[in-house]
Structure 1
Amino acid sequence: MTRLVILDPVSGDRLERFAGYLPDGWSLENAASRTPEDQLTALIGTDFAISADVPVTAEMMAVPGLRAIHKWGVGYDNIDCAAARAHGVRVFRTTGSNAISVAETALGLILALNRNLIRGHAAVLEGGWPKSELGTTSMRLSGKTVGIVGLGYVGKALARLLGGFGCEILYTGRTRQDAETEAALAVRFAPLEELLARADVVSLNCALNEDTRAMINARTLALMKRGALLVNVARGGIVVEADLADALTSGHLRGAASDVYMEEPVAPDNPLIGLDTAVNTPHIAAVSADTFEPTVKRMIGNLLALQEGRELPETDVLV
């Protein structure tokens, strides 16, 4: 029997649905909680494990018999890849699988901030009618300058979505795209500081690594235009949350939307929680009911290929 464990606690219905895609001779279990103790217990006797958000530590990689960790998604900053190499554990991901979902969420958050949709909704629920008040800070997206930090799968998808708004689109990242790609997406490369200074909206779509950790901080936020918006659907560690909260409370930024945080689930004392100009969602940008089946089949296909000694897609292999 091949034993597969999902490390992130999921609902019984979701677990049952997932089990329906397993090959014959495979079993599926779920970690009891996110605590390190329950995570380690879940891995005992496991061949393969899947992680969405929970950290996969060096101690977990050392569990005897563990053959592979599959990331349910793309970002792998929560997986100790060095420890995986040391213990001979393979690490896979579903590159590009959630790009459209994340890009659509980024665009939705941009529009929600720009048009004060969340603040308006909350006010009406409480019996208010702040039409005039919110109208003074509601803005159009059309014709504005949008800066995309990280032009990977998600960044490219967002650029395509923005095409209908007539925006000037700047991008930055580790590498510059070729001229053909820039022309097709109608984007222009700019260094980070120039992008921050010129953009009316900045969308973070980059990976979390040593170059991007705490990249958005008091200094870089001060470079942004007064009244600009910041959207983070990438990773919480890219933004210094206290500095972003200060930029919002001072009025330097008109709004910010965060789907990811330094600590998840988000702590009650997070400085972004409760600010009128902050929209906060529970790391749902990559989650989409209509991508569940193809993503699950892809993960199981990768693990089955490893088990059978077949070649895996190069894009999905990390370790």
Structure 2
Amino acid sequence: MASTKVVFLTGLKEALIEEVVSYSPPDYEVVVLDKSSTEEQRINEVRDADFLLCYGQDPSDEVIKSLEKCRLVQLLAAGYDRMNLDLLAELEIPCANNGGANSWAVADQAVLLMLAIYKQLLASDNSTREGRWAEPITGQNTFEMADKKVGILGIGNIGRQVAKRVQGFDAKVQYFDLYPLDERTAEELNVTYVSLEELFSTSDIISCHTPLTNDTKHIVNSNTLSLMKPTAILINTSRGPVVDEEALISALQSGVIAAAGLDVFEKEPVSPDNPLLKMDNVVATPHMAGTTWDTWARRANFGFENMERIRNGEAPQAVVKNFDSV
């Protein structure tokens, strides 16, 4: 079988590039184009590429139009909102994400943010280091996960992993998704489907795990936030624009909700002047939920295995759906 050419568009550091490429089959030629590459280089290299692999660098429309023999655009990430799916569909090139390879990592982060808020982790760490010991802990401002209702917004790979984890803390799980689970899967996960309004009005914790589409942009807004309990908290490890940031800032400042744990923001990197970063009731991390050393083997293996499926005449897995064209 002739050598298979893969162009890897990436923003990764050298050590992680080497880790990803190490999982490629021996007869694959992997051409790495980092962010120092020019548009002309990218266009020229992809013309005869069998596959396009992407992480941390998105192809322009001109690069996509130059995919003359590409059989799959394979993402190492879960999100695909920056990919021109309409153009790929015109060219009849499928696009696949990582098949949930980072779902464990993102789910861990979501639960971490819940616990950091419930246990006053940041305030307690600071007070301990500063010689103020347990000063921030009043006995009224720390909470347990047990018997809390966790509302999952989007029950895909990551949402399901979150459901499993919080049930380990004896929390109860309900969810809303535009495409509800079948009855058997819902029973296996021990989750209950509710309307969007009920999810926001009855949950103690709302955890966002939906892809960013026209339907989900600002699905968390002033209206949905106003339904939440004043003791409720919001977690977002999906995409920043799923949440209307101005509405969230207002809700946090006015006590409509109690707190938020955010790994993503509407504009990234987030500005140091963003009011959310000035609030004691916000725990923030730099869009790193899915980034763990453990994920790279799963991401790379899945990506190259997907390419092998196509080479062997099989259908690729985890092909993303363009919900905005439905």
TM range (shorter): 0.7 to 0.9
Q: Which amino acid aligns with 2:20?
A: F
Q: CA deviation at 1:229?
A: 0.6
Seq. identity, %: 28
Q: Distance in 2 between matches of 1:18 and 1:244?
A: 37
Q: Does 1:13 align with 2:18?
A: no
Aligned residue among 18, 31, 47 for 2:34: 31
CA contact (8 A) 2:5 2:30 kept: yes
In structure 1, stretches of 5+ residues that fail to align are: none
Aligned residue among 157, 164, 168 for 2:168: 164
Q: Distance in 2 between matches of 1:106 and 1:93?
A: 20
- Any idea what the Cα deviations from partners look like across 1:212-245, whole Å, max 9, x if unmatched? 1111111211111002110011111100112112
Q: CA deviation at 1:271?
A: 3.4
Q: Does 1:200 align with 2:204?
A: yes
TM-score (norm 2): 0.86
Bigger relative CO (Cα 8 Å, ≥ 6 apart): 2
Q: CA deviation at 1:173?
A: 0.9
- Any idea what the Cα deviations from partners look like across 1:252-309, whole Å, max 9, x if unmatched? 2221111122223333333322322111112222222123113202212223444x35
Q: Which amino acid aligns with 1:312?
A: A
Match of 1:151 in 2: 155
- When residues 227 and 56 of structure 1 are mapped into structure 2, their CA distance, relative to the original with a 3 A threshold, is farther
Q: CA deviation at 1:45?
A: 1.3
Match of 1:278 in 2: 282
Alpha carbon RMSD of aligned pairs, Å? 2.5
Q: Distance in 2 between matches of 1:24 and 1:310?
A: 17
Deviates more, 1:166-175 or 1:109-118: 166-175
CA contact (8 A) 1:43 1:66 kept: no
Match of 1:129 in 2: 132
Q: CA deviation at 1:167?
A: 2.0
Q: Distance in 1 between matches of 2:232 and 2:92?
A: 47
Q: CA deviation at 1:111?
A: 0.7
- When residues 95 and 123 of structure 1 are mapped into structure 2, their CA distance, relative to the original with a 3 A threshold, is same
Match of 1:289 in 2: 293
- Any idea what the Cα deviations from partners look like across 1:74-98, whole Å, max 9, x if unmatched? 2211111111122343322222222
- When residues 206 and 54 of structure 1 are mapped into structure 2, their CA distance, relative to the original with a 3 A threshold, is same
TM-score (norm 1): 0.88
Match of 1:42 in 2: 42
Q: Distance in 1 between matches of 2:151 and 2:201?
A: 10
1:222-301 map, 5 Å: 222-301=226-305
In structure 2, stretches of 5+ residues that fail to align are: none
- When residues 11 and 112 of structure 1 are mapped into structure 2, their CA distance, relative to the original with a 3 A threshold, is same
Match of 2:54 in 1: 51
Q: CA deviation at 1:26?
A: 0.6
